[in-house]
Structure 1
Amino acid sequence: MGKSLIPPGGGDGGSEPVDLKTALEERYLAYALSTIMHRALPDVRDGLKPVHRRIVYSMSDMGLRANGGFKKSAKIVGEVMGNFHPHGDQAIYDALVRLAQDFAVRYPLVNGQGNFGNIDGDNAAAMRYTESKMTPVAELLLEGIDQDAVDFRTTYDEENQEPVVLPGAFPNLLANGATGIAVGMATSIPPHNAAELCDAALHLIKHPNATIEKLVDYVPGPDMPTGGVIVDSRDSIVEAYKTGRGGFRTRARWEKEDTGRGSYIIVVTEIPYQVQKSRLIEKIAELLIARKLPLLEDVRDESAEDVRLVLVPKSRSVDPDLLMESLFRLTDLESRFPLNLNVLSKGRVPKVMSLRDVLLEWLDHRREVLQRRSRHRLAAIERRLEILGGYLVAYLNIDEVIRIIREEDDPKAELMQRFELTDLQAESILNMRLRSLRKLEEFEIRKEFDGLTVEKAEIEALLASDEKQWSTISWEISQVKKKFGKDTELGRRRTGFAEAPEADLEAIQQAMIEKEPVTVVLSRKGWIRAMRGHMSDTSGLTFKEGDGLKLAFPAYTTDRIILFTTGGKFYTVGGDRLPGGRGHGEPVRIMIDMNNDQDIVSAFVHNPDGKLLLASTVGNGFVVSQSDITANTRKGKQVMNVKMPDEAKLCIAVEGDTVAVLGENRKMLIFPLEQLAEMSRGKGVRLQRYKDGGVADVRTFNKAEGLSWQDSAGRTHTKTMEELREWYGDRAQAGRTVPKGFPRSGRFSG
């Protein structure tokens, strides 16, 4: 018998049954909330996630000021992990490293000494080798933290206190951006220019209801640490900032460098944000090897401190814009950085906010910090004024005070009773140093007392006036703007704006394909292949048993091959996508979604300027422009509407001004081409009237040149319009029996 799973003693050992679904829901919700609140989403007020806040606060605790010395990163990580952040040391160090990387963070919070990684994606040195301290930006975020500016909470071990949020005198959320994936939600915020954010905030203080359009005048778009060029329209940028969702297309910055004798190279000096340079070069090299970049000869990395990526064109005749457009489409030289302004509003509620909402919450936080710091300073002034009041009493009655201290058993109580002092005043007098009893001290005390009284009045006036508070905040923000203005090295805008050039899509498509001559071969059973070179003799081609040649024609790998089926649909296949000439090729049905009961009528090279005449079995037809027949998907494009048993039967190129149509009854009709409508889709109009049977062949020709056909022996016969007068008529007539000597096949081509 198996071992019982019921615990001894009747199973009542403190356990109780719990519904699994409820238990999982409770625990998963707790995990999800923890991830959202304490790990992945930044606080809108200081723009920091808990790990970054703890790193910055810990460095402040250790006294690692921007103008001070460095300390080993390992020591900082140890402090953070031991005091505030009970997670892995590597996770903390990775977060610290990122705060120090000037190519990852627009305004670094950590000043790193040693190897902190690079734009190629190389890792930083181990924490025992690197050293760190705060930057002026981090000091701004902490400004006033020792003046009761923010709330504190106990740490995980309840031994220390940590700030819930930093005072945040710097618009860090938007200036440095953030990315994070929580449970069921994510955030993605690109970096922005701090001076521009300060301008927008100053405008919002004066006009709290300012529109997003107006704010975008101040903040035209992100400002990436790695530069680049944003190619989005202003409208799409405004929409992204309005909704808090969107994205920004950033392209590498490049320039053309002449190398003499008409030759040139392209030099890329800035690449999109968060693109690893080494991976980018690998990708371009892979495309070169795969012959997907026929306009490019070579790629070289000549970077030192700055990015310098050299692209060598195939020849001096290559258009640099076309070459770059093809690279933008295939590589990360153009990348899209998503915007999802999902942040913790007031540190508690995760929600997607607009640019205006984010700036307003930051301003509200700055106001609260100002009020709290002011009240803290006010309390300190009042305490000091109380002490100074006690000192003045002591100086005015110095001999009596000394006597009481020397002779009384409880001098404190005696002082309080004799001079009506408070406990604090009496304690301060007793703690006074003897050296403070010199003559000048009374003057100093009165001076300090008067000064503090004035300051107290100013602070009280500030706390009582909204206008004065916003005026003070405006001054603080303007100081930040001055410190990180566009005339400073750190503050100058790095990312530019440009309209993406209107490129010829056809030309770009061709620029991505190596141009090689091929012969497209289509078998009767629908197998297709592309033989190398232009073949003049197709008699040597082999096919599967029971199959044979339907048609073969010359083309190039850059061409688009058009297929027309009996169902009236056109399909488009790139010449470079056709299977090679080895073997028998592949069935067309693998490449396109074609019904099993349909066959290929014709295949040819697409000519966007050409026109086609389509005809169905029962003799309906119309003219269609080739610019209207290309299909971008496997499903194809329905152009000729046919219903069973009628099918599309003929597709010929239009050349000339006259149509000759031949019925299966061997009757021929000739009429002007202008009697046929040109449509982009439809059933068409009747070409020729039949009692029974249908159309056999159609040809277009120039009236002046006459109608030609070939007999079975391959000889060409031409009849002038004078000789063909009795066959000439109007569309939809029955026609007359073909002239003598016409091929027995009943077709114009013998």
Structure 2
Amino acid sequence: MSDDNETAPGPNDVTESLRSAIGDRYLTYALSTIMHRALPDARDGLKPVHRRILYAMSRLRLSPTGGFLKSAKISGDTMGDFHPHGDAAIYDAMARLAQDFNVRYPLVDGQGNFGNIDGDNPAASRYTEARMTAAAEALLEGLSEDAVDFRDNYDGRLTEPSVLPASFPNLLANGSSGIAVGMATNIPPHNLHELIDACLHLIKSPGAADDSLLTHILGPDFPTGGVIVEPPENMAEAYRTGRGSFRLRAKWEVEDLGRGQWQIVVTEIPYQVQKSKLIEKLAEVIQTKKVPLLADVRDESAEDVRVVLEPRARSVDPEMLMGMLFRNSDLEIRFSLNMNVLIDGLTPKVCSLKEVLRAFLDHRRDVLVRRSRHRLGKIDHRLEVLEGFIIAFLHLDRVIDIIRYDDDPKSALMAEDWAHPHIRATSEKDYVGPKATDPEIALTEVQAEAILNMRLRSLRRLEELELIAERDALRAERQGIMALLADEALQWARIADELRETRKQFGRTSPGGARRTQFALAADVAYVPIEAMIDREPITVVCSQMGWVRAMTGHIDLTRDLKFKDGDAARFTFHAETTDKLLVFGANGRFYTVSAANLPGGRGMGEPLRLMIDLPNEAEIIDILIHKPGEKLLVASTDGNGFVVPEVEVVAQTRAGKQVLNLGASTARLCKRIAGDHVAVVGENRKVLVFGIDELPEMTRGKGVRLQKYKDGGLSDATTFTLADGLTWLDPAGRTRTQSELDEWIGKRATAGRMAPRGFPRDNRFT
């Protein structure tokens, strides 16, 4: 396009570099995600979506003792008034607050299907109903008393609280998790009774050390129970730094079935582990024989969790069985701790346990001061009204006369000079009215308005005495509030009293308040190799040319004719035992490990080996060996490169195998166990080279070094042998031939070598 067609920037256009524009916008997005979506506030422990849901429910008057309301209405009001995001996301957040297996102290009381521990999703919002719980009400207590700041909602029509008053440390009580931009948070739930005990300790001793709090807070208290087996010193370090993890195990017991039979019953599973997926994993463990001691798993759960594990034999040690299951399933998890929170509602920070509790207590003091000042304003207003009422009662005839005959009674009441009432007692007997010597005062606009709005039924003697009593009580209350605002010690004493009341309501003596997660020392069973738990029996491993593998019972004759699929034939046949590990070497240079005990039986044609390992279809199986720890292997590629590798280094722990021989355009050619002090190499050009095994490097992975030099073609075969015994091979007739004089073929590694001896096989193979 020519320059003439380019549009020049206008006077109102703003130009900036792409780097600056993208950087500014991404920073804005990141800050929004951190502050308004992913990280909880340390003061009330809530994210904005949860806070807005609870506030919307409070505006709908969904108290714990009231009726339920459709969840669709709640999420709709939250979306329309405060949270301009998808209603599905809002409903999911609300549903989680109602799940007692996810939230230690649920904030929403759900009616209907709100999901279950199996991982099933809640019913649609139109089918469920909800209201607040007492815990949610405690978080909102004081909201109408100017306890916190309010801000405009997203469109400016309404206002919403920037934080809730929070009568208890909800951040630690219910925990939180979230992923922001460049940071994340993960906080486990804790026991409310223990948290309040720690808060009271911190009020009494503000300079208390972090470790002293752990005498009150024993550790996380997950809603699904379980057993924490993390050492205390590790937990102390995690709470001190705000980062760490906890090992959490399922709770189990041995159930006696009589006659020596028994089974294991799991009654509590780790937090946030879906029971259905746990059962699937345990079934997979049985199928793959990763834990041979386990015979069967059944889910007999109803309202409570009951997962039954059947041992393979009554002689099995339950501790050993569970130890293996802990290592191979989600019956044990590691829950990470990352207390990254908004410490003041704005700044993300990884906090220690003490810092989080300190932020909550400072917030409670702010709430107390603000509520006290709000109450003080209400008292002052009421006292002003009461003074006006009392004046009206003492001058009732004059007040009635003004209201009856004056055109503007409000102005007339305010213009009148009234004798100030001196009341020395509140009883009718001791009542003393105004005197002629009393000072005169004028009614304020508030007092005049209140008098004009007074009901006629209030014009009685008893009401006057009640007003005087109310005034005296308010004056006493006002003095108490003024003393409270002037004395920090009194404020902390009041906060401690409020926390004790909360502890009484939600503590360990309340329904569901007792600690659920227990502690134990990790009774780790010493690692026992799987081979040691398998009955040692002889087998014959058979692998066909197409890669179908099976294990025949016993050591059969290796020359025996076996049945294969049409077009298939035997490739590898050797004797082994069920306790053996088999090393499979592929043309892609990777080693795979297969347990002989996991091979299919020999009744049929077997199964494809590629179903057991992730060997690509295009990669040929080069060799299958029985693993012998302490031995070494010679591996080489078609281009003549190779090296020596210890066998223990090629054992793979996963189906994906382990890459050992790095390949370029070539493929892997051979894998031979080292047996001797020399290497014999033959190329496709039938030239043979013999050199010392010490010329090859020992490596764990790599391309290796050149074994033999070729002008064309590549490596055909190699073997290792003892030079004093001579080089042997099988002739076409199957007879073993030995070449003792090898001076003609001995040379340096990477040389070309000499033509093969007379009688050497035409396929250029030593065996």
TM-score, L = length of structure 2: 0.71
Q: Which moved more, 1:74-83 or 1:450-459?
A: 74-83
- 2: CA distance between counterparts of 1:65 and 1:537? 81
Q: What residue is the counterpart of 1:376 in the other structure? A: 374
Q: What residue is the counterpart of 1:57 in the other structure? A: 55
- Amino acid of the residue matched to residue 265 of structure 1? Q
Q: What residue is the counterpart of 1:171 in the other structure? A: 169
> What is the deviation of 1:328?
1.3
SS at match of 2:225: coil
Q: How does 1:144-163 map to 2 (within 5 A)?
A: 144-163=142-161
> What is the deviation of 1:133?
0.5
- Amino acid of the residue matched to residue 526 of structure 2? D
- 2: CA distance between counterparts of 1:279 and 1:562? 31
Q: Which moved more, 1:387-396 or 1:336-345?
A: 387-396
- 1: CA distance between counterparts of 2:675 and 2:573? 15
Q: Which moved more, 1:247-256 or 1:285-294?
A: 285-294
Q: How does 1:298-337 map to 2 (within 5 A)?
A: 298-337=296-335
- Per-residue CA deviations over 1:4-49 (Å, capped at 9, x if unaligned) read 9645xx5528433321111111111111111111111110000000
- Amino acid of the residue matched to residue 303 of structure 2? E
> What is the deviation of 1:260?
1.7
1:481 aligns with 2:503: yes
1:229 aligns with 2:227: yes
- Per-residue CA deviations over 1:390-442 (Å, capped at 9, x if unaligned) read 11221222112222222333332332232422221222222222222111222
SS at match of 2:528: helix
- Per-residue CA deviations over 1:115-164 (Å, capped at 9, x if unaligned) read 11111111111111111100000000000000000000010110111000
Query: Structure 2: any 5+ residue segments left out of the alignment?
Result: 418-440, 544-548, 563-570, 585-590, 615-622, 633-645, 661-672, 678-721, 726-735, 737-767
Q: What residue is the counterpart of 2:181 in the other structure? A: 183
Compared CA separation, residues 550 and 126, structure 1 to 2 (3 A): closer
Q: Does the 8 Å contact 2:538/2:577 carry over to 1?
A: yes
SS at match of 2:219: coil
SS at match of 2:143: coil
> What is the deviation of 1:320?
1.5
> What is the deviation of 1:387?
1.2
* Equivalent in 107, 110, 123 of residue 109 of structure 1: 107
> What is the deviation of 1:502?
2.9
* Equivalent in 257, 260, 274 of residue 258 of structure 2: 260
> What is the deviation of 1:329?
1.3
Q: What residue is the counterpart of 2:636 in the other structure? A: none
> What is the deviation of 1:246?
1.1
Q: What residue is the counterpart of 1:688 in the other structure? A: none
Q: How does 1:517-536 map to 2 (within 5 A)?
A: 517-518=538-539, 535=555
- 2: CA distance between counterparts of 1:613 and 1:157? 74
Compared CA separation, residues 353 and 509, structure 1 to 2 (3 A): farther
Q: Does the 8 Å contact 2:538/2:555 carry over to 1?
A: no
- 1: CA distance between counterparts of 2:370 and 2:724? 93
- Per-residue CA deviations over 1:61-86 (Å, capped at 9, x if unaligned) read 11110011111111111111111111
Q: Does the 8 Å contact 1:77/1:93 carry over to 2?
A: yes
1:434 aligns with 2:456: yes
> What is the deviation of 1:520?
8.6
Q: What residue is the counterpart of 2:489 in the other structure? A: 467
- Amino acid of the residue matched to residue 218 of structure 2? P
- Amino acid of the residue matched to residue 83 of structure 1? D
- Per-residue CA deviations over 1:650-693 (Å, capped at 9, x if unaligned) read 79xxxxxxxxxxxxxxxxxxxxxxxxxxxxxxxxxxxxxxxxxx
Count of residues in correspondence between the two structures: 602
> What is the deviation of 1:312?
1.3
Compared CA separation, residues 201 and 400, structure 1 to 2 (3 A): same
Query: Structure 1: any 5+ residue segments left out of the alignment?
Result: 523-528, 543-548, 564-570, 592-599, 607-611, 615-625, 637-646, 652-693, 698-712, 714-750
Q: What residue is the counterpart of 1:444 in the other structure? A: 466
Q: Does the 8 Å contact 1:322/1:508 carry over to 2?
A: no
Q: How does 1:224-623 map to 2 (within 5 A)?
A: 224-417=222-415, 418=417, 419-507=441-529, 510-511=532-533, 517-518=538-539, 535=555, 554-556=576-578, 558-559=579-580, 575-576=595-596, 605=628
* Equivalent in 82, 93, 96 of residue 95 of structure 1: 93
* Equivalent in 80, 83, 92 of residue 82 of structure 1: 80
Q: Which moved more, 1:249-258 or 1:372-381?
A: 249-258
- 2: CA distance between counterparts of 1:5 and 1:42? 52
Q: Does the 8 Å contact 1:555/1:605 carry over to 2?
A: no
- Per-residue CA deviations over 1:194-245 (Å, capped at 9, x if unaligned) read 1111111111111122222221121111111111111111011111111111
> What is the deviation of 1:517?
3.8
Q: Does the 8 Å contact 2:211/2:236 carry over to 1?
A: yes
- Amino acid of the residue matched to residue 405 of structure 2? E
SS at match of 1:500: coil
- Per-residue CA deviations over 1:431-471 (Å, capped at 9, x if unaligned) read 22222211122211110110000000011111111111111
Q: Does the 8 Å contact 2:581/2:626 carry over to 1?
A: no
- Amino acid of the residue matched to residue 197 of structure 1? L
Compared CA separation, residues 431 and 613, structure 1 to 2 (3 A): closer
- 1: CA distance between counterparts of 2:209 and 2:167? 24
Compared CA separation, residues 140 and 206, structure 1 to 2 (3 A): same
Q: Does the 8 Å contact 1:111/1:134 carry over to 2?
A: yes
- 1: CA distance between counterparts of 2:260 and 2:485? 71
Q: Does the 8 Å contact 2:536/2:577 carry over to 1?
A: no
Q: CA RMSD in A?
A: 4.0
